Amino acid sequence: MKKYQYVIIGGSIAAVAAIEGIRSVDGAGSILVIGEENHIAYGRPLISYYLLGETDLPRMDYRPADFYEKNKVECMLGVRAAAVHPEEKTVELVGGEKVGYEKLLAATGSRPFEPPMSGIERVKERFSFMTMDDMLALERALSPEKRVLIVGAGLIGLKCFEGIAARVKHTAIVDLAPRILPSILDETGAKMVQRVLEAHNAAFYLADSVAHFDEHKATLKSGREVEFDILVTAVGVRPNVELIKEAGGEVSRGIAVDEGGRTTLPDIFAAGDCAESFDITSGTKKILALLPNAYFQGHAAGVNMAGGEETLTNAAPFNSIGFFGTHVMTAGCYEGEAHIDKTQNTYKVLFVKDGVLNGFILVNLPERAGIYTMLLRKRIPLEETDFKALEAAPKWSALPKEMRRDFAREV
């Protein structure tokens, strides 16, 4: 049996972050990556940009070609881990082979959630939109005369729509929620984005769901019927927690970890879309299935696995996403006093709770938005700032003098 200092199950963002975390402390310890997907890490959200023609396969690689070699990382790609045995510190692969570890990271990610839908088996051209392979399979099915039905008007479903909009006849989008992007937008913001999508030939069926599928037709609960050739399901994701759960690790929504990425099992860490974070804006533990968060968690876990010390203490949801040039940035939790500013093309809401900026929505106002994110993540008391000025635009000159002074020096 081969033994490694570090074994990482999963080969995506959290894994790469962990490798960089480990190597920032330990330049030599052996690292093994067990990746189920047959690719080295790629920017997963780029799959829609690929369809748009904004990127291509080589450019989608998350790190340069020599990354694994330079960091002395061994990769087993297209291999699935079947079980983790914490008592003997091994990972069992499908097929029975075992590898030993000193420190293990579960960066197993998530998978599309497929709720039971009546008649779905009759649909031949049926796709998810999570992985590069999903996307390439979908691309092969696209053609200008085809009609598409996307179930799910969340981030994945709508980014998929943006990618394919110009390559198919038209697209229908169904969602149970009464508005699009329900997890990140309020009604006003959702309406603005919806109009943009509709201008690109999307037909929305909101507050509705599919009651029954035929091969080329979906009958909705409302009784409306939608004809389609291609079905994309994007109703949500589920974290891959089974390996840790079966090994005896604590799992609630996702794999439970502390601020340093440690699970309840000895020498086993977890990071990325399979693991929970403590969201400082809502005060709850949840899965923040966002690429940057996967990196933060993965890096912290990597550093800690290698004996260093790094914690993630200010996790919060944030999203930056564009549709046909309309840009949506959101962060935090939409509770508290709302400060709203709306124009024809822009929309801004700042949510102030307990004297700090706790959430925001920005439509078509990307400039310097990171200053708002910084206020939110650092919990800066707004009474110390010139909030009127900040409301108008994010700027450091509205922050207290000491902060500005530190800013000048900080790196």
Partner 1 sequence: MKRIYVNEKWCLGCHLCEYECAYANSGIADMVRALKGKTIHPRVQVDEEGDIHFAVNCRHCTDPICVKSCISGALTKGEDGIVRIDQNKCVGCLTCVLVCPYGAVLPSPEGHAAMKCQLCTDNMMGEPNCVKHCPNGAIVLGERDAL
The answer to whether 410 contacts partner 1 (rule: CB under 8 A) is yes
Among 136, 199, 207, 389, binds partner 1 (CB under 8 A): 389
Q: Which stretch binds partner 1 (CB under 8 A): 121-129, 195-203, 225-233, 364-372?
A: 364-372
Among 95, 96, 344, 411, binds partner 1 (CB under 8 A): 411
297 φψ region: left (φ > 0), alpha (ψ -120 to 50), beta (else): alpha
Nearer to partner 1, 210 or 365 (CB): 365
Nearest distance in Å: CB 304, partner 1: 16
Site for partner 1 in 36-95 (CB under 8 A): 43-46, 49, 54-55, 59-64
Angstrom distance (rounded) from CA 410 to CA 322: 31
The answer to whether 228 contacts partner 1 (rule: CB under 8 A) is no
Per DSSP, the residues of 130-172 read SSHHHHHHHHHH--TT-EEEEE--SHHHHHHHHHHGGGSSEEE
The answer to whether 295 contacts partner 1 (rule: CB under 8 A) is yes
Nearer to partner 1, 1 or 411 (CB): 411
Among 331, 349, 350, 382, binds partner 1 (CB under 8 A): 331
Q: Token pair 């990556």 is at which residue?
A: 33
> Distances in Å between the alpha carbon of 181 and those of 109, 261, 293?
21, 29, 19
Nearer to partner 1, 180 or 380 (CB): 380
Q: Which structure tokens are listed for 61?
A: 């690689």
The answer to whether 205 contacts partner 1 (rule: CB under 8 A) is no
The answer to whether 102 contacts partner 1 (rule: CB under 8 A) is no
Neighbour-count burial for 63-96, b at 16+ CB within 10 Å, e otherwise: beeebbeeeebebbeebebbebebeebbbbbeee
Nearer to partner 1, 39 or 63 (CB): 63
Angstrom distance (rounded) from CA 190 to CA 185: 6
Angstrom distance (rounded) from CA 184 to CA 371: 19
Packing angle, helices 155-164 and 132-141, rounded to 10: 40
Nearer to partner 1, 46 or 148 (CB): 46
The answer to whether 139 contacts partner 1 (rule: CB under 8 A) is no
Nearer to partner 1, 89 or 299 (CB): 299
Nearer to partner 1, 30 or 71 (CB): 71
Nearer to partner 1, 158 or 210 (CB): 158
Binding mask 13-32 for partner 1 (x = CB under 8 A): ----x---------------
Instruction: Enumerate the H helices of 306-355 as residue ranges.
Output: none
Tell me which amino acid residue 59 is: R
Per DSSP bridges, beta strands 225-227 and 217-220 are antiparallel
Nearer to partner 1, 151 or 390 (CB): 390
The answer to whether 291 contacts partner 1 (rule: CB under 8 A) is yes
Among 209, 322, 335, 346, binds partner 1 (CB under 8 A): 322
Site for partner 1 in 390-409 (CB under 8 A): 394-398, 404-405, 407-409
Per DSSP bridges, beta strands 237-239 and 110-112 are antiparallel
Tell me which amino acid residue 98 is: K
Angstrom distance (rounded) from CA 294 to CA 277: 10
Among 82, 177, 206, 371, binds partner 1 (CB under 8 A): 371
The DSSP secondary-structure symbol of 282 reads T
- Nearest CA among 334, 333, 335 for reference residue 317: 333
Nearest distance in Å: CB 389, partner 1: 5
Q: What kind and span of H or E run contains 173? A: strand 170-175
Q: Are 363 and 340 in contact (CB under 8 A)?
A: no
Q: Are 359 and 337 in contact (CB under 8 A)?
A: no
Nearer to partner 1, 59 or 122 (CB): 59
Binding residues (CB under 8 A) for partner 1: these are 17, 43-46, 49, 54-55, 59-64, 291-292, 295-296, 299, 318-322, 325, 327, 329, 331, 366-371, 373-374, 378, 386, 389, 394-398, 404-405, 407-411
